[in-house]
Structure 1
Amino acid sequence: MGRAEARKAQKKGTGPDRGGKPKKKGIRRFFTWKLLLAYFVAVVGLGVGAFYALYLYVDVPTGNSAATLQSNVYKTSDGKTIARIGEVNREEVPLSKVPEDVRKAVVAAENKNFYNDSGVDLKGTTRGIVNTVLGHGKQGGSTITQQYVKNYYLDQRQTVTRKVKELIITLKVNERMTKDDILQGYLNTSYYGRGAYGIQAASRAYYNKDVDKLTLEEGAYLAALLQAPSQYDWGTATEAGKKNALSRWNYVLDKMVEQNWLDAGKRKTMTFKEPGQPKPALGLTGQNGYLIEAAKREIIRDLEKQGRKESDFAAGGWTITLSIDSKKQKALEKAVQDKLISDLEPGSREVDKHVQAGAVSVDPKTGKVVALYGGQDFAKHQISNATRGDYQPASTFKPLILASALENDSRTQDHQPIKPGTLYDGTNKRPVVGSDIPFAPENEDGYSKPSVTVQQAMNDSVNTVFAQMAVDVGLEKVKKTATDLGMKGDFDATPAMSLGSMGASPMEMAGVYATLNNHGKKVTPSIVKSATQRGQNFDLPNAVGDRVVSRDTADGMTSVLTGVVDDGTANVVASSAYQVAGKTGTSDDDKSAWFSGYTPGLVTSVGLFGEGPGGKQVTLQGTGGNGRVNGGTYPAKIWAAYTSAVYGSGDDDDAKFDLDTNVGFVPPQAPAGTPAAQPSSTQGRSPSPTASKGTQSPSPNASQRSHTPDPGPTSTRNTGKPTPPTVPPTRPTPTGGGTDGGTRPDGGRNQANLQP
């Protein structure tokens, strides 16, 4: 290589003095570190430029909140208007009328840095935009200024465009208005529940006083309401809702202490003051109020799942068509009147003043509520007995234990498969084995059988059998099955849950039993047939979801529950026209009584609740002058009267269940001469300590566990009951009282299901 060539090579960087490093070729030459940095700066510059252009382009609009408030219209499924709700309850007040400590309570609850921030929570807003783009629905956190902008200038729709506009308008509002003006606007436009917009209307709705008369304790509750107005409304909230409301109230006051707005010593002396009861809107009398309240709660629930707020519903413009069938609704109301109300004499019997009835009827194929009974009159009792979840479902929970056993292929303590023919020890007050938590429930009327099939235990609702079964299956597995089927799951997984010791509503239990009836596909009862907002269709979730238990399990449970009707505590509902499956339930001291049951085309849950002064749960004993009340009395009679009245009025009134299962109903009586199968005894195992007062531990030789194997699989198809096994298990002939009421084959009257 000559000198000239060497110099040329050196300039090109390929000669020996340049290390011979080759030059990048193709697409790689566009991704050097310098170019990547340049790209980043360019993108940021374009973003800033675009935002600045939008900032100049987007102006603060004229406040439109009051102008867009409209009525909400409710219709029945046949198009008849039953109510038009929407007179706006609002009275604006100057900030000076709101006590300073009440203002600070709101700021502490919603945006503690309000007085020092720029009006925008960039992190929360960015998270909200990302969630919206990804379709997750839930929005990020917002400042008081942002919430005021949404309340007064925009709406609650979740779109990227709307969120960017919110960001820009918020920045401009924060520049043009003082913090006091923004806070005043926020307090006057926020929704507090009970139809109240603004803190003055809220003060009147909850405490029947003007806002300037509010105490800090009361103001802290109104501040807590801003997070979830309906859920935290003390007058209508569930026990869980009240617990959450109280927790939020404490949170507000504690944040005030953190900000040095409240003396810590004074904070310790503060007690929660319950607000007054809500007043029903005009025209919401009889059942209409309960129907509308159920629809309203459902729409709000679905709005919140989309990241929108309850105030978006309260602002109006909705037309909601209910799924209620007018004929079935009238039949349900008549059944309650004829079988319960006509027996009550509240003027002469104290207990009759405390009786509350609730019922929900669901089409299992669509999940739609076709009839609902919430109480005698919404104008007199605003808590809906159809949706309240504060009373125990009692033995109507027991089928869920067996369903969990079937679904999980569970075994007894003796490693035998748990099936309808499996034998268990039904001895009264028998301590459960295998649990760290001692529990020895009492059977109704001292019912005590050392050997009883699971089927017979279901028919007679034997507490000791299902307490042991829940432990055998696994308490957490039982709870999971219950929540999969439709229960809310806000209860502890303990042996006591086997007796239905948690809270539940007729709506909830109707959904659980509808899921069984629908061959294991999840049914979440819905009372809303369709909804539009200002002419735009509102997307409703499907009331029928995915399969949550196998068809074998669900159909097997339906078959078993036909036995409760034909041979157990619910025989009062048996019909020659159609098959019925169901379960009775009666809680401790007869405070609640239930029947949840179904035909092939209709699922209905009926509950009776004893509600004393102040909402205290009281006994139903003596209702109607008839002594003990249990699931086999008023609830079952109401169910039977309603179902017989509407059977034949629809297109899906099949007489027999369409079942496909390898497990199911087991005959209650073995053929004569069949040797009795005895449960194995536990040798060398100490029984669990008892949990019931007065319960004695059995002797070491007492039978602690069941069990003989199930007589074998059976096949059910189209009849509702399988072909009996060749040699069915033998059970002792019942001589004592069962549980949950109903007339026994031996002519005796079963009584209520007592819980320890």
Structure 2
Amino acid sequence: MGRAEERRARQRGGHRGAPKRSSRAGAGGGATGGTGGTKSGIRRLFTWKKILGSLFGLCLLGMAAFVGLYLMIDVPKGNAAAVQQSNIYKYSNGDTLARSGVVNRELVDLDQVSKGVRMTFVAAENKSFYDDSGVDFKGTARGLINTLSGKGKQGGSTITQQYVKNYYLTQDQTVTRKLKELVISLKVDRQQSKDQILAGYINTSYYGRNAWGIQAAAQAYYRVDADKLSVAQGAYLAALLQAPSQYDWAVASDTSKKLVKARWNYVLDNMVGEGWLSSAKRDAMKFPVPKDPKGAPGLEGQAGYLVEAANTALEKQLIAQGTAADLDEAETMVKAGGWTMTLNIDKKKQAQLEKAVKAKLTSKLDGKDRKVDADVQAGAASVDPKTGRVLAMYGGVDYVEHYTNNATRRDYQPASTFKPLILAAAVDKDATTQEDQPITANTIYDGTSKRPVVDDGRKVGFSPPNEDDVDYGDVTVQTAMNKSINSVFAQMGVDVGMDEVMKTAGDLGMDVEGIKSVPAQTLGTMGASPLEMAGVYATLDNHGKKVTPALVKSVEHKDRPVEFPDAIGDQVISREAADTVTSVLTGVVDDGTARTSVRDNPARDGQQVAGKTGTSDCNKSAWFTGYTPKLVTSVGVFGEAAKAGTTRCGKEKPVKVKAFSQVTLQGAAGGGRVNGGGFPALVWAAYTFDAMDEVSRFDLETDQGAAVQPTPTPTLSPSPTAPAEEPSPEDPTTKPPTSSAPPESSPETTPPDDEEPTPSSSATSPPGDIELPGDPDDPQAFQ
């Protein structure tokens, strides 16, 4: 083959014309050239310089992306749910009464947790916490890889990251959330101190047993506050955070108990290694076995009534001190949580009051067999007259069944429990009768039923009947109080001046704002609560120095300091006036409407007692407010329709009433009329004589009344003669209401069916020791 042919063959790709040369070329340089060309092509494509350059570029791109994220992601507002707290309510001795709110959490400042306990969390979770930048990049990268690969949750986060997850983000396991956690953690670490972050972490973490935050956890596991935790206990709580449900000692399996003990040891060993705990102290520590779980106190029974009343007291004080502008704002502040309220409620006396109500009243009711029994409600409040502390309160059978607090409601007439206030005004103001005779315990009044009340020789249009229209004739004020004679106190109120009477009532503690100063008010036709009446009588017991019942002992809140005013105020009536009323009221117990229930009670043991019964219009309420030198308690029993139906007052036609309307108590517990000397006085006596620490006597500065002298035999003297004129049309009448409307709707027109004397014809007071007609509130009067 010529060269031209060979060239043409090569151009065609054939080598048939020169096989040997081609073979040599393939065996030598041809082979090397072919393989070497491939390798040099790869080298040209993947040189070390290019690889390093690409990696560097990726790093730059990642850094730029991270800078972009850092600039774009701001630290968000804290998650409100993460710091949502409950309100804590405690008895006076510090025992927990109740918690309110969805979340069992109480935020505490870091200085309320000992340094040793704080460091258990650092030792458990993040030993470099006080030195790092707030982020564990290796742990975060590992978590991202596991999330992308579907391996789920991965530890390794710093305390700062966990705090950010708890407070600013969610528990979602997503790449986006983890990247946000990284950026926000870096920023939070720059914006907040390490102590602030640690406090946030231990307050927002979940410890199991429905306990959020270290304070709730300390109570849930060891029944102590966070500031009382030992280092050993703190180490257990720190260990819990890894697996709260699994590591709860009360429900842990044998394996889980070994694991949590190992974790506990790990925490303490880390503390020793870091120099935060001495080896000697470490070796002396024993595993602190937690207490068994205890159900979180709810609002059942009396707890709800006490919580509601405490909240109301706090709201009023927030407004009074200017922290809240109005009631709506105050309610919002209280419901936001974070309050720890210690009440003045004495745990033992509270139990004694509940026991007394059950033993003497509620256990005798059967709402299924007797419809009226379902309509019976009871309320009571007990006050220390020397301090004003509310020691016990009964709001109803159960807060979850009957929401209205019967101890604080003001829609029922206090009836004859108002009469002592008229006498207090009379003595304090040096008032006189129509004949200018000083009004004292021995002053004679005409107790004739329906005797027209007169003022300066003129009828005032008010002629209240005594119960069952009984005429008592001439009686002393002491006897009139013992027998609760309406006609006497109606006239006395006008003699004193109704403006003065109502002013004195207000000074003593009754809420009389907006109530007209008319003669009908002498029969207690305004509304009042057991707590209110307990305060009034406590002022009498305290020798005329004002007592404002104080339910709340102290309040603590992280951001809002609250100080309650002193429960003991100024002298509002003279000591002589207050002591005279007390002296007279001992006669009600020893020789009047409360003698059967109180005087003859075998548990009395010689205790001196003052008190007053009351039974309102149509027997819708019955009261006994009584006191010893150390304890004042007011008990009310109220008729409240359990459901819509009909009711009647005496012989009047039945009227339709809605549920919760005021209805008669007549026939409750299978008896007749429910009077103040019956169930209310029985409950009072059972509670008071059980709660007494010792027998005591009143220290009285008066020469009047049953406590210092026997009731004298009244001497007949002329009584005011009523003129013949008709009452003016605008004067109040005495016709009782026919509807079940609350008494406030017509307070000046409704005299109560105040008491229960044995029916009798008109008579004057007998001479000597002949007994007067039956007692108005005597439970035996109708047996």
Q: TM-score range by the shorter chain?
A: 0.5 to 0.7
Q: In 1, distance between residues paired with 2:683 and 2:407? A: 14
Q: Which residue in the other structure is 1:288 paired with?
A: 303
Q: Which residue in the other structure is 2:716 paired with?
A: 677
Q: In 2, distance between residues paired with 1:350 and 1:667? A: 46
From 475, 481, 484, give the equivalent of 1:458: 481
Q: In 2, distance between residues paired with 1:681 and 1:465? A: 12
Comparing 282-291 and 299-308, the one that deviates more: 282-291
From 430, 442, 455, give the equivalent of 2:451: 430
- 1:259-316 CA-to-partner distances (Å, cap 9, x unmatched) read xxxxxxxxxxxxxxxxxxxxxx992111111111111111111111112132222211
Deviation, 1:87, is: 2.6
Alignment size in residue pairs: 456
Q: In 2, distance between residues paired with 1:424 and 1:505? A: 30
Q: Percent same amino acid among aligned pairs?
A: 57
Deviation, 1:677, is: 2.9
From 520, 532, 547, give the equivalent of 2:571: 547
From 602, 606, 617, give the equivalent of 1:577: 606
SS of the equivalent of 2:565 reads coil
Q: In 2, distance between residues paired with 1:617 and 1:525? A: 27
Matched, 1:634 2:659: no
Q: In 2, distance between residues paired with 1:419 and 1:597? A: 21
Matched, 1:692 2:734: yes
- Cα contact 2:606–2:695 (8 A) shared by 1: no
Could you say if the C-alpha distance between residues 492 and 88 of structure 1 is closer, same or farther in structure 2, counting changes exceeding 3 Å?
Answer: farther
Matches within 5 A, 1:107-186: none
Deviation, 1:644, is: 1.2
Q: In 2, distance between residues paired with 1:419 and 1:290? A: 41
SS of the equivalent of 2:433 reads coil
Q: In 2, distance between residues paired with 1:62 and 1:343? A: 57
Deviation, 1:81, is: 1.3
Q: Which residue in the other structure is 1:76 paired with?
A: 91
- 1:692-727 CA-to-partner distances (Å, cap 9, x unmatched) read 359xxxxxxxxxxxxxxxxxxxxxxxxxxxxxxxxx
Opposite residue 607 of structure 1, the aligned amino acid is G
From 695, 704, 709, give the equivalent of 1:663: 704
Opposite residue 639 of structure 1, the aligned amino acid is W
Could you say if the C-alpha distance between residues 450 and 620 of structure 1 is closer, same or farther in structure 2, counting changes exceeding 3 Å?
Answer: same
Point out where structure 1 has 5 or more consecutive residues left out of the alignment: 1-60, 90-280, 695-727, 744-748, 752-756
- Cα contact 1:68–1:315 (8 A) shared by 2: no
Q: In 2, distance between residues paired with 1:318 and 1:634? A: 38
Q: In 1, distance between residues paired with 2:477 and 2:726? A: 21
Q: Which residue in the other structure is 2:615 paired with?
A: 586
Opposite residue 721 of structure 2, the aligned amino acid is T
TM-score by length of 1: 0.57
From 418, 430, 433, give the equivalent of 1:412: 433
Could you say if the C-alpha distance between residues 398 and 687 of structure 1 is closer, same or farther in structure 2, counting changes exceeding 3 Å?
Answer: farther
Could you say if the C-alpha distance between residues 668 and 615 of structure 1 is closer, same or farther in structure 2, counting changes exceeding 3 Å?
Answer: farther
Deviation, 1:506, is: 0.3
- Cα contact 2:638–2:665 (8 A) shared by 1: yes
Matches within 5 A, 1:592-611: 592-611=621-640
TM-score by length of 2: 0.55
Q: In 1, distance between residues paired with 2:516 and 2:560? A: 42
- 1:67-91 CA-to-partner distances (Å, cap 9, x unmatched) read 66422111111211122212389xx
- Cα contact 1:322–1:530 (8 A) shared by 2: yes
Q: In 1, distance between residues paired with 2:712 and 2:565? A: 48
Q: Which residue in the other structure is 1:252 paired with?
A: none
Matches within 5 A, 1:688-727: 688=727, 691-693=733-735
Aligned Cα RMSD in Å?
2.7
- Cα contact 2:607–2:696 (8 A) shared by 1: yes
Rg bigger for which structure? Answer: 2
Q: In 2, distance between residues paired with 1:405 and 1:429? A: 22
- Cα contact 2:593–2:777 (8 A) shared by 1: yes
Q: Which residue in the other structure is 2:551 paired with?
A: 527
Q: Which residue in the other structure is 1:304 paired with?
A: 319
- Cα contact 2:582–2:610 (8 A) shared by 1: yes
Opposite residue 741 of structure 1, the aligned amino acid is D
Comparing 681-690 and 474-483, the one that deviates more: 681-690
- 1:51-71 CA-to-partner distances (Å, cap 9, x unmatched) read xxxxxxxxxx96897666422
Q: In 2, distance between residues paired with 1:533 and 1:562? A: 45
Opposite residue 716 of structure 2, the aligned amino acid is A
Matches within 5 A, 1:182-581: 283-307=298-322, 308=324, 309-434=330-455, 437-490=460-513, 491-534=515-558, 537-571=561-595, 572-574=597-599, 575-581=604-610
- 1:537-565 CA-to-partner distances (Å, cap 9, x unmatched) read 52111111111111111111110100111
Could you say if the C-alpha distance between residues 475 and 302 of structure 1 is closer, same or farther in structure 2, counting changes exceeding 3 Å?
Answer: same
SS of the equivalent of 2:666 reads coil
Q: In 2, distance between residues paired with 1:622 and 1:729? A: 33
Q: In 1, distance between residues paired with 2:768 and 2:510? A: 33
- Cα contact 1:467–1:495 (8 A) shared by 2: yes
